[in-house]
Structure formats: structure tokens, C-alpha cells
Chain A
Amino acid sequence: MKNPGRSWIVGIALFITLSVLIAVSLNFGAASTDSVVIWNIRLPRTIAATLVGVGLASAGVLLQGSLRNPLADPALVGVSAGAALGAVLGAAIGLPFNSIGVTSVAVVTSSIAMAFVLWVSRSNGRIEVVTVLLSGIAVSAFGAAAMSIIISTSNAAGTRSVSFWTTGSFSLSNWSGVNAMWPAIAIGMVLAFFLAPSLDLLALGDEGAHASGVAVSRVRALALLAAVLLTAAGVAVVGVIAFVGLVVPHAVRLVIGPSHRQLLVVSAVGGAVVLLLADTIARLALSPIEIPVGSVTAIVGAPVFFVMLGRARNRQGGWA
């Protein structure tokens, strides 16, 4: 383990950055700043971006730790697509957009997607790194196709276009959106915090962890459930935002080391910083036109993914 003092320094530095970003996010925009604009438009949006950032980065930590897969990200393993499909399904059966009801459906479908990917990727008691990603692609494609069908056949008011779900946007985030996501994210974070020490032991491999007294299957199932909660709540409100869950935990791990409790907390703050920064750029770069925030994270995140893909490949000696 690296110097534990380092976690504190990094954590505090990120926290200060987050505070500055929140101040910027609340004070700058196309409208002239007054209390109505801050309270009803910018504050809920800022909180939504912060919560989703916390959720995605933490979900990334949990997925990478519990699957022992350095390339796991909620969007890459199909969890996000499962959640988006659920949200569209919820809207199609008449649940209001930005509601706990839609979030709940998203959690259910997202869990199904996660369970499916896991089931497909198991081989001789191992969960294969590449198979997880490939199944994730298939599940995501299935989800997008099913969403297209639902959207084009549904006349329910709440459904949104596939592009809204696949590139993510905070432009429709209001207080009901915040209320629809925070409970699940809070539960997910508490769960994650208590599972973190077991995830450290899981890094020893399933047998090693079992020998150390970890109930491997239960810990893994709970960690994946937490990842689903943390992801699905955000996706149900803002759509799929890729790469945050992948890049943030990696960057944090490089600086403070792999101990999961610190990794989780610092990544959560880091995720909030990254997503709030991305949304501020999305909102202000071409103001008054907004870029979908998912495009901003993907443009930065995709190149990072390639680098990491290369590394993971070299470590395993190629996947031919």
C-alpha cells in the first residue's frame, strides 16, 4: 500500500476542486444569474452531475474489483444499457420521467443485464476479462435495439429518443430528477463502503479470498448489486455516460494505490469532479448551444480506454 497520507491529500485536493467547480457551475450560464435560476435550474443540475459522477466512478471501482477486470465500466459491461432500456420501458408503461418508479424499473432491468453478462462470461469458475466486455457489447446492442422499438411504437409522453439515452445529458435534470436518483445512490454507496475490505481480499483470487474467510459469491453478488444501483439511478435520469467509471478509478489507483476503501471514497469525489467539469464544458463551451455531456466524456475517455486495453493485453500476453 502506498502512503495512506497521500489519500487524504488527494481526497482533499479533489474536494476543493469540486467546491470550485460547483461555484462555477452555479454562477455561469446563458441566463443572467438570479436566485430563481440558481435554485431551480443550476442547483439541481449541478447536484445531478455530482451524484451521477459519484455513482459511475464508484460503480467502476466495484465492477473492476469484484470482477478482477481492469477494463470494467458500467457502460462497457452492459449495465448502463440495461438501465436505459428499463427507463424507457418504465416511461412507455406510463410512469413519469424523473420518478422513483422509472428508476426502480431501471434497477431491475440493469440487474438482469448484469446477471446475464456474468452468466455468459463464466468459464471453469473464472470470469473472463474479454468475454465480459464482448457480452457487454451484445447486451448494449440488444438494449439499444429494444429501446428503438419501444420508442418508435410508444406514444407515452415520457419516452425519449435513443440518442438521448446513448449520449447522456443533464439538460432535463430538475429536482424530481435529483429525487429520483439519490436514494439508490446512497444505498449503493453504503453497501460499497462496507464491502470494500472484502474486495481487497478478492484481489487474491477466489480461492485466496475464500481461504481468508471471504464469502466470495455473496460479496461479489452484493458488490455487483451496489454497482447496478449506483449506475441505474443515474442512467434513468440522464442517460448513458460512458468511460467515467473506467477512467476515474484507474487514475485514482495510480496515485493512491489499490486499497478499496480509500479508492472508493477518492474515486467518488473524483467522479463528481470529472462529470461536473464535463457538464460545465458541455454547457458553456458553445453556449447557448449545449453539447451532450456523454460526448464530452467519450471524447476524453475513449483514447484512455485504448491505452488501457493495450496494457491489459500485454499483461495477459495477447488474446488471439
Chain B
Amino acid sequence: MAAIVLSGCSSVVDNSVASDNSVLEIVRPISISQEDVAAPAPFSVPWPVSSAQRIVSLANGSGEVIVALGGARQIVGRDETTISPEIVDAPIVTSGHEINAESVLALTPDLLVIDASSGPQEAIELIKGAGVPVVEVPEAWNLADINAKIRAIGVAIGAPVEAIDYVTALTSGTQDFSLGSSPKVAFLYLRGTSAIYLLGGVGSGADSMISQAGGVDVGAQAQLGPFTPLTAEEIVELDPEVLLVMTKGLESVGGIDGLLKLPGIAQTKAASTRAVIAVDDTLLLSFGPRTGETVFALHNAFLELIAP
């Protein structure tokens, strides 16, 4: 595989290339996994008694924020994207993106944390009707909004001010990287098993991550909406040098080889150099305590890909 990459013309006999060990060490895609991005140590000062004691956390990324605030023990229910090791034993009360009201109520929570993307509305009304306080926290789809989200979650659950300050400081220091020549990056949301292939644009979340890490999001540059159906012609026209995908999304299209065979994708610069970055699904768009580290990992991946 690596040999084909180097010999632009595949008819070239590849003995010389195959014997070059450095070539064989190239591993694509570049993976950024949970293990690569360490979660920060949780804030460890005891909480006031007035805080929520049985929290069901369903807002995007709210689980890991609560863990970082030091509230892991208060979480009694979560959504399936929250996989912080401290709370992985708490039952999942969503299926897909749908809240199961009965599962939530069975946990007798004293607080439900949701955001605008949570649903269905009927389930939320049902839970409210049963007397459970429901707090909707603001969504964050770029780095600038993270701290507002963290503060809202912190206040909602009654976390100490020091804890909130501690967690917001984690991402406030995120470096804004720049690269000599910014790589043109396309973010692809892939669910091959459902024939869903979407191209990220302005407001996908990935646009913020890409620009912070020193790249240019080609979909955002073309002023596309957050997610538009990917067409062969459009991706060829945008001609990205790097493809950014989520790990499970990549698996669903048959891995990097499946991805690079899709019409249009196959004709991009990124395909010719196999420049694919796969970021853990729960990491890329969580916009929480680990986002700063994720940006750094993404930046390093860009550096590796554009190295001569």
C-alpha cells in the first residue's frame, strides 16, 4: 500500500521502495484516540451539601465536564457518548439520540442536564412533569463557547466556584496554532452502513478545531452549512489535502481503503497521499476539558502530514 503512494505511477516496479524501511513505518490514518488525550485530574475539594446529588447528564460533553469539576460520584445516568472511566458504570438512558424517559425516572434523579440537541421534547416534558428539575445548558460548537458551557453546567449542579474556575482555566490556555502553509482540511461525517456521507462546513464544530490547530476547513471556507451531503463533484472541487474523520465513521466505510475508494474522495490530493486523520468519536466535538489537548494532537497530526 505504502509503495503505491510513493510511486505516483503504480506501474513502476516497487522493489526499491519496498526495501526502504522508513516508508513501511508510515501508518495511516493517523489516529487520535482516548489514550492520546489525557483527561485532566478532577477538582478534588469536597462539594457543598446543597449541590445536586443524583445527576443524569445528557448534554453534549456535560459528563466529562462534571467529572472534571469533581462531581463523578453524583452522576447516576449518562448518554452513550459519555465514556469517562469514572462514570462508565452509570447506566445509559438514551438510545441513539433519544432520551428514554422511563429509564431516567427509574434512577430517581434530582437534576437532569440537557442541551438544545436533546430530545424528544415529549420525554423531557414527561420528566419535568414528574417533578425532576431539568436544566438546559448552552451548547458549545467552537472553542470560544466552551467556558460558557462549563460555567452553566457548574452552576446548575451547584459545584464550588473554585472547581468551575479550575476547569475553565484548562481550555482558556488553548494555544491558537498556525502553520507556515495551512493544510486544506475536509471534515467528513461518515456512517457508511446508512449511506450517510456529510461534509462539514461553517458551524460543524470541526471547523473551529481545524482552524485552531492551524488548518483551513475547506467546507467552511466555501461557506457551506454545518453539514451538507457529500457529492463527488464538490469534494473534487474543494480538493482537500487532509481528510478529518471520526474513528467509528471511518470503520463504517471499511477503513481508510474504503474511504479512499469513494467517488470523488479518490481523486483528491488527500487520497493520493493517504492523508487521513481519525479522531475518537467522543473526543473531536465534545468541546470540554480535553479539547485543548485534542487541538494539540490535531496540530501535531497536521505537522506530520505536511512534513516534506
Cβ–Cβ contact B233 & A30, under 8 A: yes
Chain A residue nearest in CB terms to B263: A174
Distance, CA A283 to CA B233, complexed state (A): 10
A293 part of interface (Cβ distance < 8 Å): no
Mark contacts of B193-205 with chain A using CB atoms, 8 A cut-off: 1 yes-contact digit, 0 otherwise. 1111000000000
A31 and B236 in contact, given A174-B266, A290-B231 (Cβ under 8 angstroms): yes
Cβ–Cβ contact B236 & A173, under 8 A: no
Cβ–Cβ contact A31 & B237, under 8 A: yes
Count chain A residues whose beta carbon lies closer than 8 angstroms to a beta carbon of B: 32
* Chain A residues, Cβ within 8 Å of B232: 31, 41, 45, 171
Contact of B233 among A37, A157, A163, A173 (CB under 8 A): A37
Mark contacts of A16-32 with chain B using CB atoms, 8 A cut-off: 1 yes-contact digit, 0 otherwise. 00000000000001111
Cβ–Cβ contact B229 & A289, under 8 A: yes
Cβ–Cβ contact A161 & B233, under 8 A: no
Q: In angstroms, how far is the closest chain A Cβ from the Cβ of B271?
A: 11
* Chain B residues, Cβ within 8 Å of A30: 231, 233-234, 237
Cβ–Cβ contact A289 & B231, under 8 A: yes
Q: From DSSP, what is the main secondary structure of chain A's interface residues?
A: loop
Q: In angstroms, how far is the closest chain A Cβ from the Cβ of B73?
A: 34
Cβ–Cβ contact B231 & A157, under 8 A: no
B261 part of interface (Cβ distance < 8 Å): yes
Instruction: Give me 8 A-to-B residue pairs in the complex whose CB atoms sit less than 8 angstroms apart, sorted by A's number.
Output: A31-B233, A37-B236, A40-B267, A158-B192, A172-B195, A288-B231, A288-B234, A289-B231
B262 part of interface (Cβ distance < 8 Å): yes
B252 part of interface (Cβ distance < 8 Å): yes
Chain B residue nearest in CB terms to A176: B261
Q: In angstroms, how far is the closest chain A Cβ from the Cβ of B238?
A: 9
Cβ–Cβ contact B264 & A41, under 8 A: yes
A151 part of interface (Cβ distance < 8 Å): yes
A164 part of interface (Cβ distance < 8 Å): yes
B40 part of interface (Cβ distance < 8 Å): no
Cβ–Cβ contact A173 & B263, under 8 A: yes
